[in-house]
Amino acid sequence: MADYKNEFGWFAEKPKVEKKIYDRNKVAIGIVVFLVIFTIAFWKNLGKAVPPPKPALETAAIIKLPEKERTCVEDVEFMRQRHMRLLVDWREQVIRDGERYWTNSKGEKYLASLSNTCMECHTNKTQFCDQCHNYVAVVPNCWGCHLTKEEQVAKAEAK
């Protein structure tokens, strides 16, 4: 014999409890509103393609160089993939080891400096660095201290 107990007492067989959601309509509206707000970013950008970044390489400093010498400290593929690692390595070697010069894979020596080597050619931070960084939503904290030379170059060109 199976006895069932609920809050009203003992029953010989399982009592039928009416299953219902209280305030069914309000709950449904709530769920719909939640889903809409939660996915609003997707709806807003539906069908829109964000154009891929186009970092500009044509600064006055680069154009001035002869065609053959227009190379970065390493080749383009390396720089695209590993420039952040390279900058961290430079930072370590300059500050921790006091070694200010860095030799690339071809044996050429460069001053390991963000402001004085990279930004010397890439004087256009907004057209160069920021293009990709904004696209992939990364915020490197270089620029809190290091200077871009962008203003200096703009002033010099205006003259």
Partner 1 sequence: MGINRRDFIKLAGLSALLGLGGKSAFELVLPGEVEAAEKAKPAAEGITRWAMVVDMRKMNDQIAAKCIEACHSIHNVPNYIDPPDPKLALPDPLKQRWQIKWIWTDLYEHAFPGMEQDVLWEKLHAMNFLLLCNHCNNPPCVRVCPTKATYQRPDGIVMMDMHRCIGCRFCMAGCPYGVRSFNWRDPRPYIAKINEDYPTREIGVVEKCLFCNERLAQGLQPACVEASGGALTFGNLADAKSKVREVLKEHFTIRRKPHLGTNPQVYYIV
Closer to partner 1 at the Cβ: 33 or 156? Answer: 156
Smallest separation, CB 95 to partner 1 (Å): 5
State yes or no: residue 61 binds partner 1 (CB under 8 A). no
Enumerate residues 83-142 that contact partner 1 by CB under 8 A. Answer: 91, 95-96, 98, 100, 115-116
CA 125 → CA 58, 97, 145, 146, 147, distances in Å?
12, 28, 14, 12, 10
Closer to partner 1 at the Cβ: 45 or 126? Answer: 126
Choice from 5, 144, 158, 159 touching partner 1 (CB under 8 A): 144
Nearest to 52 by CA among 128, 136, 156: 136
* CA end-to-end distance (rounded Å), the chain: 101
CB contact at 8 A, 114 and 142: yes
∠ Cα 111 116 122 (to 5°): 115
Closer to partner 1 at the Cβ: 94 or 135? Answer: 94
Residues contributing to the site for partner 1 (CB under 8 A): 91, 95-96, 98, 100, 115-116, 144-147, 149, 152
